[in-house]
Chain A
Amino acid sequence: MTVTPLPKSLQDTPQLGSWISFASPGKVQVRTGKVELGQGILVALAQIVAEELEVALERVEILPADTLLSPNEGFTAGSQSVEVSGAALRLVAAQSRQALLRVAATRTGHRPEEISCHDGLLRVEGTDIGLDFWTLAPEVDWTQVVDVRTIGRDRRDYRLAGTSTRRGDVLQRLASGGFIHDMAFEGMRHARIVRQPFRLARLASIDRTGFSRRHPTVVIFQKGDFLAFVGADEYAVHAAHDEAEVFVEWTPDPGRKCAAKAPAEMRKEVRKDHAGHRATNSAIRARYSRGYIAHGSIGPSCALAHFVDGGLTVWSHSQGVFALRDQIAACLDLRPLRVRVIHVPGAGCYGHNGADDAALDAAIVACELKGTPVRVQWSRVDELSRGPLGAAMATEIEAALGSDGSVSAWKLSVVSAPQAQRPGTGGYANLSSAEALDPGHAPRHVEDVPELAGGGASRNATAIYDFPDHEVSVSLDTRSPIRTSSLRSLGAHLNVFAIECAMDELAGIAGIDPIALRLRHLKDKRCRAVLNEVAAMSGWRPDDAGGEGRGRGVGVSRYKNKGAWLAAVAEVTVDEAVRVERLWLCVDAGFLINPQGARAQIEGGALQSASWTLLESVPVADGRVPPLNWSNYPILRFSDVPEVETRFIVNENEPPLGAGEAAQGPVAAAIGNAVSHALGVRVRDLPLTRERLMQLLVSDER
């Protein structure tokens, strides 16, 4: 038998009582370091706990992540929540149940295995024995360490996990408050931050007289290049912020540079296999690219902060409250234990967006207005233009074909702006206002996400296919003046797009059906299964010539090469613009804790990927991001939405795998291949906008 290592979360926080409490009668209170980002993660975790304890789901209360009270589980990211935190909570709940039963056995003289649990009540041979979890809890030693050998219940006996338990949180918020944006305190001040219009811009002048004449109820707070408008009335502050450029001037400071000490490029070799002969004649050499992508949460970032009695409390929709606490403390010269960060849900989060930036904004103003609670609300323009962006990337593939039409050699190289520059990464704050307070906070070197963590720019850069020669290298463009960080699936979106488009290009040259060529190079059985299934679902026909503005395309990958498998087929029509008519998705994410939740995750990811792929690229000019709103940064609308059909290959004996990011790459690839199938022209640069296609068709006709 293999020894399973203790989940990381439990290595860091080993005591049972740090995770779970039966102190409140009838309730099971669970502390997790994971946070709700809009995907229903906490419902899935509650389901796991309820299942192991055999209690009703309503009894399980997942408490908000709080640096004062919760276990530190790092960031809620990378589709790891169900895999990592779920595994930890399964052990915690199973061990709690066993400990409670042992106490009951000692008290009653029964053997623990004779006692059964019914929603917290204990029975022997079907008869209540007058004991429940809550009366027994005080007799359990909660300081005991969670033991990895604890055996949970058999998944075949699960009643809740594996079923589509409904989320109540969304509906609760639908007709009331409940988002961080809705929090308010007595005597609260509203603040709007006047952000630097480009990286490391210097505040040149403020017309304070003109400002106070026009906005008498709003005060200006300045510290370095950090500038805030503050007042008791939200609309007054909002209106002042709307016309900030009338009163505030910025100037570039040539002395300030980002990543000045870093070499222009940092290269890492990911893979180098040369089993056969090196390729001599390349069949293709192609470069695929995407631009910067905005997170575009519908609710702009928001945070509240209150400095009282020498301590600072911050409410944030951050993905990682502990890292944020440490960086806020460092930026404001406070001891970390003097800062408490509490998570409150924001609007949908798809990576490292402006949430952490807003938290530092509120903290700075709260430290100035000691004793007064402060609320910071970002504007739409700042949310799209001033938060970290998804990295621009280019992936080049050179590949050769053997005489039988199989791929004989494959060389892939990625150049990407930095990924995953989260608070604390590389020892830097990576917070917008940290750089405004002191340009010295700007990172001087950058690193990619380690391969063990799934890679960043290198994520899914290694194709899932078996090629005799397979080389992969990744370089980071370290001098990009644009702030970039983690956006859903990181490098996988473009890398899978590139790999899967190249496979189609090669299939075209070899005269082989694209799915048949993939299957030739696929040993991974579960990958073959999703690919074959999606072909069947979509009625894939190798003899479908496409063209005349209609086409189909396929894309497949295994997320991070160790997560969920997903194959997609897209059907598009191209008239003036591309329209995705239908999408077929087949997924293997192992055992599904909540099938409806997993399906929502997959389909949501697919539509978001369609939006990035068809429409999105931040128009960067001279290293600056212009002010964006929904008219100059359009995203997918209801009228653009395709019909989507999703099928899961479920195997209850396989561990659950995160589903949130599996669709980004394959869906982009399927759309790209479908567009090429429809037009007879290969499109390698994203997004696939009407303008891009027109340019391509015109140049092709020449």
Chain B
Amino acid sequence: MTDGSHAMNGQPRCRINGSDVVLAADEPLLFTLRNRLGLKAVRFGCGLEQCGACVVLIDGEARPSCSLPASALDGRTVVTPEAIGRDRVGAALLSAFELEQAGQCGYCLAGIVMSAFALLARETNPSRARIIEALDGHLCRCGAHTTILRAVERAAEMLGEPSA
């Protein structure tokens, strides 16, 4: 049965990092990204939408992928940490995270960068309070929060510079 322009044979289709993908398996997006598409920067942290390690962009919004069913993704656009460097906001974030040596073990970082990306794509000069608000759904056990906040601020500065 065909329903609208996207779903064929009940299988949802979406765009992931610029490619059209048919979501064949009835499973949360996280498992599809990691196991079927090899996008392993999307991390498993809790499976309960509590820690933010698996956050990706869905139509530009930062969302956990660990419980999001494939059926909810029909016609949507997904971006994972693997692809953010292609965009100037993402490139600035990656560069700022390296310059600030943000994070410690790095496990939580990929998800955090996605939330920071969603924020900086929308706001050019967010206050520290806004950055904290945007990252508050993410847990970091190494206590690297301060370096991460500094990195997001630095990325915002880099994007504000005329040459950027």
User: Is the pair A299, B107 in contact by a Cβ cutoff of 8 Å?
Assistant: yes
Chain B interface size range? 35 or more
Closest to A609 in B: B143
CB-contacts of B29-56 with A (<8 A)? 31, 34-35, 40-41, 43-48, 50-51, 53
Q: Is residue A481 within 8 Å, beta carbon to beta carbon, of the partner chain?
A: no
> Would you give the shortest CB distance from A589 to chain B, in whole angstroms?
17
User: Is the pair B109, A181 in contact by a Cβ cutoff of 8 Å?
Assistant: no
> How far is A184 from B37 in the complex, measured between Cα atoms in Å?
13
User: Is the pair A608, B143 in contact by a Cβ cutoff of 8 Å?
Assistant: yes
Q: Contact partner of A380 among B48, B113, B138, B146, CB < 8 A?
A: B48
Asked whether A596 and B101 contact (CB < 8 A) given A175-B41, A177-B40, A347-B107, the answer is yes
CB-contacts of A602-616 with B (<8 A)? 603-608, 610-611
> How far is A182 from B105 in the complex, measured between Cα atoms in Å?
15
One digit per residue, 1 when the CB lies within 8 angstroms of any chain A CB and 0 when it does not, for chain B 126-137 equals 000000110110
User: Is the pair A629, B142 in contact by a Cβ cutoff of 8 Å?
Assistant: no
> How far is A238 from B35 in the complex, measured between Cα atoms in Å?
13
Q: Contact partner of B143 among A182, A346, A603, CB < 8 A?
A: A603
> How far is A182 from B84 in the complex, measured between Cα atoms in Å?
19
Q: Contact partner of B40 among A170, A182, A346, A605, CB < 8 A?
A: A182
Q: Which residues of A contact B135 (CB under 8 A)?
A: 638
Asked whether A174 and B110 contact (CB < 8 A) given A297-B141, A629-B46, A638-B138, the answer is yes
Q: Which residues of A contact B53 (CB under 8 A)?
A: 298-299
User: Is the pair A631, B50 in contact by a Cβ cutoff of 8 Å?
Assistant: yes
Q: Is residue A219 within 8 Å, beta carbon to beta carbon, of the partner chain?
A: no
Asked whether A235 and B139 contact (CB < 8 A) given A596-B101, A600-B101, the answer is no
User: Is the pair A174, B97 in contact by a Cβ cutoff of 8 Å?
Assistant: yes
User: Is the pair A348, B136 in contact by a Cβ cutoff of 8 Å?
Assistant: no
> How far is A299 from B142 in the complex, measured between Cα atoms in Å?
12
Interface residues contributed by chain A, number (CB under 8 Å) = 58
Closest to A176 in B: B41
Q: Contact partner of B145 among A177, A297, A641, CB < 8 A?
A: A641
Q: Is residue B98 within 8 Å, beta carbon to beta carbon, of the partner chain?
A: yes
CB-contacts of A589-630 with B (<8 A)? 596-597, 600, 603-608, 610-611, 629-630
Q: Is residue A131 within 8 Å, beta carbon to beta carbon, of the partner chain?
A: no
> How far is A349 from B94 in the complex, measured between Cα atoms in Å?
24
Asked whether A604 and B40 contact (CB < 8 A) given A38-B105, A235-B28, A629-B50, the answer is no
Closest to A190 in B: B35
Q: Is residue A350 within 8 Å, beta carbon to beta carbon, of the partner chain?
A: yes
Q: Is residue A525 within 8 Å, beta carbon to beta carbon, of the partner chain?
A: no
Q: Is residue A62 within 8 Å, beta carbon to beta carbon, of the partner chain?
A: no
Q: Contact partner of B141 among A164, A348, A596, CB < 8 A?
A: A348
> Would you give the shortest CB distance from B54 to chain A, in whole angstroms?
11
Asked whether A638 and B43 contact (CB < 8 A) given A170-B109, A173-B106, A174-B81, the answer is no
User: Is the pair B136, A298 in contact by a Cβ cutoff of 8 Å?
Assistant: no
Q: Which residues of B contact A350 (CB under 8 A)?
A: 141
Closest to B147 in A: A600
Q: Contact partner of B31 among A234, A300, A347, A629, CB < 8 A?
A: A234
Q: Which residues of A contact B34 (CB under 8 A)?
A: 182
Closest to B43 in A: A299
Q: Which residues of A contact B107 (CB under 8 A)?
A: 38, 179, 297-299, 346-348
Q: Is residue A512 within 8 Å, beta carbon to beta carbon, of the partner chain?
A: no
> Would you give the shortest CB distance from A263 to chain B, in whole angstroms?
36
Q: Is residue B68 within 8 Å, beta carbon to beta carbon, of the partner chain?
A: no
> Would you give the shortest CB distance from B50 to chain A, in whole angstroms?
4
Q: Is residue B140 within 8 Å, beta carbon to beta carbon, of the partner chain?
A: yes
User: Is the pair B46, A380 in contact by a Cβ cutoff of 8 Å?
Assistant: yes
User: Is the pair B41, A177 in contact by a Cβ cutoff of 8 Å?
Assistant: yes
User: Is the pair A175, B85 in contact by a Cβ cutoff of 8 Å?
Assistant: yes
User: Is the pair B44, A377 in contact by a Cβ cutoff of 8 Å?
Assistant: yes
> How far is A234 from B44 in the complex, measured between Cα atoms in Å?
12
Q: What are the 3 A-B residue pairs with the smallest beta carbon separation, nearest first?
A: A38-B105, A607-B143, A348-B105
Binding site for B on A (CB under 8 A): 37-40, 164, 166-167, 169-171, 173-177, 179, 181-182, 184, 234-235, 238, 242, 296-300, 345-350, 377, 379-380, 596-597, 600, 603-608, 610-611, 629-631, 635-639, 641, 644
**Would you mind naming 15 contact pairs between A and B with Cβ atoms under 8 Å apart?**
A38-B104, A173-B109, A175-B41, A175-B82, A175-B84, A176-B41, A234-B35, A238-B47, A299-B53, A299-B107, A349-B105, A600-B101, A637-B139, A639-B133, A639-B136
